[in-house]
A and B are shown apart, each in its own frame.
Chain A
């Protein structure tokens, strides 16, 4: 019976995911449509100084190249059908298929994003739990300060400062990102090539900056959740029965606290990382999804924007679904019979 409820719940959530994705992509499309096109304007002005060409003719040519001269409803239908069929089109600002652009970019985002997620999760939980079990001590204050520092400091500014310190003055890390350092001699990105010394060295600062931003929210959530259980009766009982501090921490505090904590994994953490990736990748010159998306927005490269919006949307929606399902595994008291 429980499984049938779960199956029905998943089916409805997947259906809702499709609707939500459709809505988000539609909004994105129309925002792009309404956005002033600076790239074309730039070309028009350049063309004008190339001996008096007609700027309007240049604009019409560029719009025709990009299919932007058609009625908006035709463009919209085309884009939506293409997105659904994974025929994501051609990027006129990159001279390559959109799928290729995304495929080339995502490894660079993952190679600093995954370590940042893992580190911020582990460290955030550890510091949060420690802080909760040592409330109002100096170390708790220090951890809280660290958390708020990481949360408050602007990522892009922090990144530039670190670059100046460790790149320019100390010369410990490279100033600019070398995409080739992540590739093997054949030009492919492999696990081995990603773990090369040169690549790891250039990833240290991006991972650090991203982790400091993400660790704070995880640490604060962990601390708050754990505090709910630190003085709970069953924890007192466990202490009275002589359970070790480690057992109490892991089995009686962390386990119940982990259920609500898991909810922020997908939402807050991924949100922070996706948003931060725009700034991180621009500052560190990392040719990942953030920079791909940023440049596509600036150039009004609609096919690329749609694809780079779809990916985080998909990850967030599916991630939330997986997280909800994980509830039932982590906490047997939860089922989806009423939902």
Chain B
């Protein structure tokens, strides 16, 4: 599965790990794939060799904007991140505790968060030092501005949050309700702002065009000592260049490891836009770039070479075979026992080992094994070892289905006497996805079920299969947005489908209660129409408001166990992020979230 492995830190780093497979797929198509750190290490004719401390990251696409509150893509986030650290990072080496960058944050009750800015944070002249006033003004006028005049993509997240200045360098954030995971949310961690002195003129006039087109915004001229690098140039579709910031505030910080005090270790950091994948990989092999995303089929080859390696870090994305629980899917998919029986059919290990080249781990529920929220007590296995069993599946299906269904000569026959045929819709354009779809088709055939495969491109997948509309009689009970427009018994997508493959779901290993967006009845991304038991709905609600971590763990354990039992989707596997680097690049490790401190990465001597 393609991924968009932005290397940067904190917010952009987290963005890189975000995971709806569709996003990843898009990134693979035209977005940014990668970046990295390092410098050219062997002299070739491909550029980047001239300066030992120039790091060149190969990227498949360019960024959109440098306006922080309008950024919605990982590449742009990565660009800005080079010049502004943002609020704080989450340290993957210590259970994702807050690592103060610009500020520290803490709370006693999960409802009011106290923020304290570090000393000596300076904007470029004439904007002066960063103060709490900058933060409060930015939050209230940009994110919470009337009618979202600025077009902030974070506006929804800041709805109801009250920002209060409590001192020159301190401010409080009062949440509308308890949220024990607030500091771990990606719109807060790694958050960047803009100086009040720069934006206030435009705020008064509600002049977003004027602000966006301001030279200091276009060239990030206001970033002062706030990041490891300073903007140098941006040649669209070609390269984005930043140079070492000798005034980086971390040089004076005495509460951070020494590696931060001397950072960054590259004199120049360049994002080189190389749209074509073969060219990008060839450039990595010849030393023209120092990092890029490597698709699974190419991993072995890059790893086998002396000058390159692939860092295979686990992801927080689960790849499911989704079932359509709505009115335009096979009506039996609403039956838990039927879904459980279907879970025995598909061999997950073959998908992982043979199609995904062993890059990842088998999934049984909605949390990967490396997560602190992972549980295996009470988790049943489906589709591995003895639980991959066609006979068992057929036996369970026959027991679970109404009496007008039945097997005849190995074929599952429906009420009309014909073999049951399910429509499998899958994303087109990716070999591993289409191969897996064919494998699923073969596996279902072994259990007597015919599967028709329909490969569709991303926009079609969204508009014809994920988005749905209320079609029931009477008043619409509720709507959770375009992807979940009502209860599953009255809502349907434009085109019929039964099974779906090619999207992956983010598992929120830092804020697990957020998983309700997929697996609660009114979750905005419950596009497949799953209606969980009342118990699960209650548990999601409790998890979101429980401050005590042990108590929350118990709740999440119950949720994951219930999801494993109910099989709303067939959880197949968790993939790996596969970033390729030149051998001399030191820093990447094979852990999720490891890029948070990439500012300290360097070339080996």
Contact = CB atoms under 8 A, between A and B. Distances in A.
A164 B276 CA distance: 13
A111 interface: no
Contacts, number: 199
B72 A48 contact: no
Q: Is the interface of A mostly helix, strand, loop or mixed?
A: helix
B279 A283 contact: yes
A61 B153 contact: yes
A41 B152 CA distance: 16
A48 B525 contact: yes
Interface in B12-34: 15, 18-20, 22-23, 26-27, 29-31
- Of A46, A62, A92, A178, most B-chain CB atoms within 10 Å: A46
Contacts of B209: 90
Given A49-B19, A49-B186, 11 more contacts: A46-B73, A51-B185, A53-B153, A53-B156, A55-B481, A96-B236, A160-B276, A175-B282, A177-B238, A291-B275, A295-B61
Contact of B483 (A55, A65, A283): A55
Interface in B30-67: 30-31, 44-47, 58, 61-62, 64-67
Nearest to B63: A95
Interface in B121-175: 148, 151-157
B148 A299 contact: no
B302 to A, nearest CB: 13
A175 B72 contact: no
B18 A46 contact: yes
16 contacts: A38-B29, A42-B31, A46-B23, A49-B18, A49-B186, A52-B524, A54-B481, A55-B482, A105-B237, A163-B282, A171-B286, A176-B283, A179-B239, A285-B276, A285-B279, A292-B237
B237 A291 contact: yes
B220 to A, nearest CB: 11
Interface string A102-121: 00110000000000000000
B435 interface: no
Contact of A299 (B30, B46, B208, B506): B30
Nearest to B481: A56
A26 to B, nearest CB: 23
Contact of A176 (B65, B272, B285): B272
**Top 9 A-B pairs, shortest CB-CB distance:** A36-B459, A43-B72, A287-B237, A179-B238, A287-B238, A49-B18, A53-B156, A65-B151, A175-B283
B20 A168 contact: no
A14 interface: no
A171 B209 CA distance: 46
A87 interface: no
A175 B31 CA distance: 20
B602 interface: no
A160 B235 CA distance: 24
Contact of A174 (B47, B74, B185, B458): B47
B293 to A, nearest CB: 15
A53 B235 CA distance: 32
A163 B275 contact: no
A104 B186 CA distance: 35
A147 interface: no
A16 to B, nearest CB: 34
Contacts of A56: 481-482
A221 to B, nearest CB: 31
A164 to B, nearest CB: 6
Nearest to A301: B64
A104 B62 CA distance: 15
A306 interface: no
Contacts of A61: 148, 151-153, 155
A298 B524 contact: no
A281 to B, nearest CB: 8
A172 B278 CA distance: 17
A65 B209 CA distance: 9
A255 interface: no
B22 A45 contact: yes
Interface in B283-341: 283, 285-286, 288-289
A47 interface: yes
Contact of B517 (A42, A48, A171, A180): A48
A292 B218 CA distance: 19
B72 A62 contact: yes
Nearest to B186: A50
Contact of B275 (A55, A160, A282): A282
A58 B274 CA distance: 29
B371 interface: no
A38 B152 contact: no
A50 B47 contact: no
A50 B462 contact: no
A176 B20 contact: no
B599 to A, nearest CB: 22
A174 B45 contact: yes
Contacts of A284: 276, 279
Contacts of B151: 61-62, 64-65
